């Protein structure tokens, strides 16, 4: 198995377990002794070169598959963990037809934390992740070599495996504070999202849409968890976050701090959509968070599962087929609130990248593609 850098693995899915590892991108590649024993019990010979070193399979029966996600406090990380569970099917697992693993035979999928969409694209391109979750806008820029990727240039090797769901822009402030509109953000202490995140990129677009720039704010660039903590203790006035509702960190914050979600006016949303076609009018429903009693108009961006053309066609086909298996869908729906919005019927909606040939083959068989063109 060829590699570009260590694979962080803390809890591999094994026979009778199937819980994929979730860990930081900076962690070294490790496999627990307990997990190793389970794999050995499954009948696959494994040669371990020690803690912090790569665990090599003596045969091709095991394939580690890395999924770049996002910060642990966001949506991508827990969702990526559920996807990793669904895709994993280590040697020795019970047969799918008998209630066992319905993932790709021999695969141990791993959800890895990251700073978000921009970093995910870069890591996939470099081979540090095998696939990743990514905002459609960021994927579009990377493919074309524009905006945040203007310096790096086009990345034509990127491919889409699926559109998962629409992410909503959350602009979160205190309900007892003076901020009621986007223009009220001027001069306030606002986190625009951490560096290399899709949230930061789109926060800048939205601010520009209402005539504001970063210099007009007391801007900071924080992870979601500290931004939420800052809003709770009064050291921050608000923060931006693009994620599928409900966002766990925001839901937790709303239990103890009364919140307001700033709306994006319809004319502003339409202005943004005309300039950036991947943006769409969206709505965060009433009741998504404690104290949010009315729908909040905002903008939405597709969350896509991406890879590169280096992934073999047959393997990509098996991955996509496993994701949309009925058993996998139930697992994802029950494992995370956003899972109920992930539907096969929308798997090719608004894709920012060309479909991987393996994914295209599956969607054609599923009746989502007609003739030789993508709908």
Average pLDDT over the chain, rounded to an integer:
83
pLDDT at 33 over 50: no
Q: How is residue 262 annotated by DSSP? A: P
DSSP letters for 294-318 = S-EEEEEEEEEEEEETTS-HHHHHH
Same domain, 262 and 172: yes
Q: Tell me how far apart the terminal alpha carbons of the chain are, to the nearest angstrom.
A: 36
pLDDT at 259 over 90: yes
Confidence of residue 310 (pLDDT cuts 50, 70, 90): very high
Tokens standing for residue 34 = 């307990």
pLDDT at 27 over 80: no
Question: pLDDT value at position 208?
Answer: 93
pLDDT at 201 over 80: yes
Domain boundary among 302, 331, 353: 302
Neighbours of 354 (CB within 10 A): 15
Q: What is the pTM of this model?
A: 0.72
Cα–Cα dist 109/300, whole Å = 28
Tokens standing for residue 200 = 């930061």
Cβ contact 101:145 at 8 Å: no
Provide the b/e sequence for 8-27 (b: ≥16 CB within 10 Å).
Answer: bbbbbbbbebbebbbbebeb
Question: pLDDT value at position 7?
Answer: 38
Q: How is residue 134 annotated by DSSP? A: E
Domain boundary among 282, 302, 322: 302
Cβ contact 12:106 at 8 Å: no
- Determine, yes or no, domain membership for 189: yes
Question: pLDDT value at position 74?
Answer: 82
Pairing of β 55-57 and β 46-48: antiparallel
- Determine, yes or no, domain membership for 245: yes
Find the mean pLDDT for residues 96-118: 92
Q: What digits encode the pLDDT tens for the residues 203-235?
A: 999 999 999 999 999 999 999 999 999 999 999
Question: pLDDT value at position 279?
Answer: 83
Percent of the chain scoring above 90 in pLDDT: 64
Domain that holds residue 98: 22-166+304-365
pLDDT at 347 over 60: yes
CATH code, 276:
3.40.190.10
Find the mean pLDDT for residues 352-365: 97
Confidence of residue 89 (pLDDT cuts 50, 70, 90): very high
Query: Of 53-57, 192-196, 204-208, 360-364, which one has max mean pLDDT?
Result: 360-364
Same domain, 162 and 308: yes
Find the mean pLDDT for residues 239-253: 93
Same domain, 295 and 179: yes
Question: pLDDT value at position 20?
Answer: 37
Domain boundary among 273, 302, 331: 302
Same domain, 102 and 155: yes
Same domain, 260 and 177: yes
Query: Of 48-52, 135-139, 198-202, which one has max mean pLDDT?
Result: 135-139
Tokens standing for residue 25 = 């991108």
Same domain, 150 and 81: yes
Confidence of residue 265 (pLDDT cuts 50, 70, 90): confident
């Amino acid at each position: 198995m060829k590699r570009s850098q260590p694979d962080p693995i803390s809890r591999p899915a094994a026979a009778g377990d199937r819980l994929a590892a979730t860990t930081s991108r900076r962690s070294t590649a490790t496999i627990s002794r307990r997990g190793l024993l389970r794999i050995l019990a499954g009948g696959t010979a494994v040669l371990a070169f020690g803690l912090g070193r790569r665990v090599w399979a003596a045969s091709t029966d095991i394939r580690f598959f890395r999924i770049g996600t996002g910060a642990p406090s966001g949506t991508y990380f827990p969702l990526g963990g559920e996807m990793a569970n669904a895709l994993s099917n280590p040697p020795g697992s019970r047969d799918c037809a008998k209630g066992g693993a319905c993932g790709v035979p021999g695969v141990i999928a791993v959800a890895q934390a990251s700073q978000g969409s921009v970093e995910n694209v870069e890591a996939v391109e470099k081979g540090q992740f095998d696939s990743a979750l990514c905002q459609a806008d960021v994927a579009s820029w990377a493919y074309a070599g524009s905006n945040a990727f203007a310096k790096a240039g086009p990345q034509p090797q990127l491919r889409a495996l699926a559109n998962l769901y629409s992410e909503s822009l959350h602009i979160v402030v205190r309900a007892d504070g003076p901020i009621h509109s986007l223009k009220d953000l001027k001069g306030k202490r606002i986190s625009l999202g951490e560096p290399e995140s899709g949230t930061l990129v789109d926060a800048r677009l939205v601010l520009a849409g209402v005539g504001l720039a970063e210099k007009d704010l007391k801007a900071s660039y924080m992870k979601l968890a500290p931004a939420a903590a800052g809003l709770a203790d009064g050291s921050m006035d608000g923060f931006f976050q693009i994620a599928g509702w409900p966002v766990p960190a925001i839901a937790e914050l709303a239990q103890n701090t009364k919140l307001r979600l700033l709306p994006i006016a319809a004319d502003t949303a339409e202005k943004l959509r005309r300039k950036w076609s991947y943006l769409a009018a969206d709505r965060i429903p009433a009741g998504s968070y404690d104290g949010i009693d009315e729908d909040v108009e905002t903008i939405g961006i597709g969350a896509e599962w991406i890879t590169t053309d280096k992934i073999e066609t047959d393997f990509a086909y098996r991955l996509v087929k496993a994701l949309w298996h009925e058993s996998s869908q139930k697992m994802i729906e029950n494992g995370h609130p956003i899972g109920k919005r992930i539907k096969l019927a929308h798997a090719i909606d608004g894709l920012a990248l060309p479909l991987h040939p393996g994914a295209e083959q599956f969607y054609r068989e599923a009746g989502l593609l007609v003739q030789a063109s993508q709908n």
